[in-house]
A and B are shown apart, each in its own frame.
Chain A
Amino acid sequence: MKELLKKLPLRKKVLGVDIMSALIQKLYAFLKRDFLEEASYKYSFIASFFGIFLSSATFFFISKLISPNSSSVLDPYGGDYFSFVIIGIAFSGLLAIFQERLPAIIRQAQVTGTLEAILVSRTSIPVILFGSSLYYFLYSIASTVFHLILAVVVFGMQVEKINWLGAVLTFILTALCFLSIGILSACFILVYKKGNPFSWIYGSVSGLLGGVFFPIKILPAWIKWISYILPITYSLEGLRKSIITTSPFSEILPNIIALSVFTVVFFPLSIYLFRMALKKAKKDGTLTHY
């Protein structure tokens, strides 16, 4: 690891500290902390993977009610409802992880007092936020991959050839976009403690209008426009095109552009607002209030 760190570019010393090396070590420390904590709840750890099996099985049997190619709205996705919905639930889990876990971590740290202990350390706000989500990000990748493996191996989902470039780019942008939404939720929790509106807007509305369980084409026109302002719509569209129908990159590109726009706007905005929220909490002296 030392050799690898030595070769890394941008090795800059600030206040006598090699920032790149310190950054990697801090992120690893967050990852290790969360893994040790989560793994200490052994049954919850195992149950979460069992839950994935149950939800996959449920949608597998529901999909039996919809015969292949019975509905033209499924044609752009290969005509198979099971493949369509499994991508929806596997990747919408990523949104849930960021949108629910990150504010939950901040709230828990606020309630217990670990937030103060972390904030008094020599670690910047973006590193604290990114570090706190890292384990859950990797966990969500693992659970998404587990979802897909189950779907292919146990339930016979057809995957011919994945457009890896499209899938990876869409996934990275989706993660950044959802992380931003999670940070916005955390801002609200930091200042107002409870009643997070982002959870309602992006949780419930994305589930209904983001194309998780059914194609947005079947929505009435008067409500469909909301789907187009939700990042999850472009994420799922891009991922389905990359994984199920193996579309060429040019067909996935509009979704990647839309997600890039969301990320460019939301990510810096969320970091800025978190700094502001933290400043307000420090000013009001409510950092550990709950």
Chain B
Amino acid sequence: MAVVEAGLFGYAKVDRKMKAIEVKNVTKVYPAIKGYKELLFHPFQKKGTTALRGINLEVRSSQCFCLMGPNGAGKTTLIKILSTLVLPDEGKAFIKGHDLEKETDEVKKHIGFALAEERSFYWRLTGLQNLDFFAALNNISLSKRRKKIHEVINLVGLEKAAYRRFNTYSTGMRQMMAIARALLSDPDILFVDEPTRSLDPVAAQNIRTFLREEMVENHGKTVFWATHDLSEAAEFAHTIAIISEGQVRDEGSVRSLTNQGSLSLKEVYERAVKKAAPEKKGFGS
């Protein structure tokens, strides 16, 4: 079902059935940090912490997809793999049909990553100067850059703060700026890793509304959101995947997961997490 929809910087064809992201049997094991004794006596012994165990996932275009799970479940690892910052040990992943490892340049054309780390900006530069730098790195030509920067700044509502130094911004404004940076290259897929963490409820709500209404519904983007907040996932997502101990435990729309509302999302989540670690109680680690 290909329909023509307004893109952020023009009109683009959006096929809602098309796979935006495809993850096939992705495994990631981080090497363990060795102590002096191990370095001395077993320098070549390999030990590691498994972050992802053969993950399989499909995300369709123009969806709000929520990856939900406790701390240490593997959410950030998966987002970093999908945004080309971490390499998987096994398995394959595709962005818009492009192999992450073999077609990295093509993949980067389609993705934007709103990094949760607010220090990922240059604090002594203004918001505008920061965006100008990252726009140049994303091949946005000098002639189009000013227009695009103003478009994304207006979109996230930071036009009045654009000429202020980044270190004067509030946490919420920094998160919005991270989203603005990720949108500079007009990506089809936007990765956001717990963007509402440490935000007040109003600012958090603004970000949720912006991503769902502005990005997905108005501009046809795919938003891949990692969170451990149940209410956020319930309000935001078209599809939720519950991940725990590096494996997807449950997946579907809120209605299907909750069995048409007969279960609460909290119950579904607890059951999925317990499935992974029956000895553990509560959420997260």
- A residues lining the B interface (CB < 8 Å): 1, 15, 17-18, 21-22, 25-26, 28-30, 32-33, 36-37, 40-41, 111-114, 116-123, 279, 282-285, 287-288
Tell me which residues across on chain A come within 8 A of B141, comparing CB atoms.
18, 21-22, 25
- What are 15 pairs between A and B in contact, CB < 8 Å? A17-B139, A33-B129, A36-B122, A36-B129, A37-B125, A114-B120, A114-B121, A116-B120, A117-B121, A120-B113, A282-B85, A284-B30, A285-B51, A285-B80, A287-B85
Inter-chain CA distance A287–B139, complex, in Å, is: 23
Q: Which of A29, A37, A117, A283 has the most CB of B within 10 A?
A: A117
Does B31 make an interface contact (CB < 8 A)? yes
Shortest CB-to-CB span from A23 to chain B, Å, is 10
**A122 and B121 contacting across the interface, CB-CB below 8 Å:** no
> Given the known A-B contacts A33-B133, A122-B109, are A114 and B122 also in contact in the complex, defined by CB atoms under 8 Å?
yes
| Contact A37 B132, beta carbon cutoff 8 Å | no
Question: What residues on B are CB-neighbors of A287 within 8 Å?
Answer: 85-86
**Interface check B221, CB cutoff 8 A:** no
Q: A29-B132, A37-B122 are in contact. List 20 more A-B contacts (CB 8 A).
A: A15-B106, A15-B109, A33-B122, A33-B125, A36-B122, A40-B124, A111-B119, A113-B117, A113-B119, A113-B120, A114-B122, A116-B85, A116-B113, A117-B120, A120-B115, A122-B138, A122-B139, A283-B86, A283-B87, A287-B86
Q: Is B227 an interface residue (CB 8 A)?
A: no
In this complex, what residue of B is CB-closest to A288?
B117
Closest Cβ of chain B to A10, distance in Å, is 17
CB of A134 to closest CB in B, whole Å? 13
Chain A residues, CB < 8 A from B28: 285
Nearest CB to that of B135 among chain A residues? A29
Do the beta carbons of B136 and A25 come within 8 Å of each other? yes
Tell me, yes or no, whether B105 is within 8 Å of chain A by CB: yes
How many angstroms from the CA of A41 to the CA of B132 in the assembled complex? 21
Nearest chain-A residue to B132 (Cβ)? A29
Instruction: For residue B60, give the distance in angstroms from its CB to the closest CB of chain A.
Output: 23
| B137 CB contact (under 8 Å) in A36, A113, A118, A279 | A118
B72-85 interface code vs A (CB 8 A; 1 in, 0 out): 00000100100111
Is B124 in contact with A117, judged by CB distance below 8 angstroms? Answer: no
Is the CB–CB distance between B138 and A121 below 8 Å?
A: yes
In the bound complex, CA of A32 to CA of B89 (Å):
38
B169 close to chain A: CB less than 8 A: no
State whether the Cβ of B148 lies closer than 8 Å to any Cβ in chain A: no
Given contacts A37-B125, A113-B115, contact A15 B133 (CB under 8 A): no
Q: Is B239 an interface residue (CB 8 A)?
A: no
Q: Is the CB–CB distance between A117 and B139 below 8 Å?
A: no
Smallest beta-carbon distance B45→chain A, Å: 16
Q: How far is the CB of B195 from chain A (nearest CB, A)?
A: 14
Q: Are B87 and A121 in contact (CB under 8 A)?
A: no
How near does chain B come to A51, taking the closest CB pair, in angstroms?
22
* B133 lies within 8 A of A122 (CB): no
Find residues 124-153 in chain B having any chain A CB closer than 8 Å to their own CB: 124-125, 129, 132-134, 136-139, 141-142
Given contacts A36-B124, A122-B108, A282-B87, contact A117 B134 (CB under 8 A): yes
In the complex, what residues of A have CB within 8 A of residue B134's CB? 117, 121
B244 within 8 Å of A (CB atoms): no
Given A279-B87, A285-B30, A29-B137 contact (CB < 8 Å): yes
Q: How far is the CB of B256 from chain A (nearest CB, A)?
A: 33
Asked if B181 is at the interface (CB within 8 A of a chain A CB), the reply is: yes
Question: What 0/1 readout, one digit per residue, does chain B (189-204) give for beta carbons within 8 Å of chain A?
Answer: 0000000000000000
A284-B122 contact given A25-B142, A32-B133, A36-B129, CB 8 Å threshold: no
Asked whether A117 lies within 8 Å of B181 as measured between CB atoms, the reply is yes
Q: Tell me how far the C-beta of B71 lies from the nearest C-beta in chain A, rounded to whole angstroms.
A: 16
B27 part of interface (Cβ distance < 8 Å): no
User: Do the beta carbons of B83 and A22 come within 8 Å of each other?
Assistant: no
Q: Are B136 and A116 in contact (CB under 8 A)?
A: no
Chain B residues lying within 8 Å of A279, measured Cβ to Cβ, are 87
